[in-house]
Amino acid sequence: MKTLEQEFAGLVYSRVKAYADRYPEDSPERKGYGGTALKLPILIRSAGLTQALAFVDSRGKPPQLALLEDLAQVAAGCNMDQYLEKSRSDESQAYLYLTRKTMLALKWFKRFAQSVLGVEATEVGEKS
């Protein structure tokens, strides 16, 4: 039986690798996806899950929306719209659990953004 860490690592790697295969190195799409993966945990810690997800969704940029869709699949097993709705409507215990699963998944998104997409925290700017 796999741990949740192992399960998330495999799921996230396959999603990040598939995204990377669609775009050339140093493309703005890779940097947008990876940069959002690097910044989102901090935003969740400071603003909360619902506000952070709503902010990224409101930006409406394809790389960020792709990350939200992948994160929804990994952390909640649903699509992005259902994930956003869950973050707004879950009771407190379910909300806390969703936040913990999201943060665990984002740990892997951050690692693979760096190793697979080649995005570093030092190059993540406001444009991503």
Query: Where do the domains of the chain lie?
Result: 4-119
Question: CA 43, 73, 47 angle in degrees (round to 5)?
Answer: 15
pLDDT score of 128: 39
pLDDT score of 122: 74
CA quadruple 6, 120, 115, 19: dihedral sign: positive
Homologous superfamily, domain 4-119:
AF1862-like domain (1.10.520.30)
Task: Report the percentage of the chain scoring pLDDT > 70.
Answer: 95
Token pair for 72:
């929804």
The arithmetic mean of pLDDT across residues 28-45, rounded, is: 96
pLDDT confidence band for 123 (50 / 70 / 90): low
pLDDT over 80 at 98, yes or no:
yes
pLDDT score of 126: 43
The arithmetic mean of pLDDT across residues 109-128, rounded, is: 80
What is d(CA 54, CA 10) in angstroms, rounded to the nearest whole number?
26
Express each pLDDT in 3-14 by its tens digit.
Answer: 999 999 999 999
Average pLDDT, the chain: 94
Express each pLDDT in 38-83 by its tens digit.
Answer: 999 999 999 999 999 999 999 989 999 999 999 999 999 999 999 9
pLDDT score of 127: 44
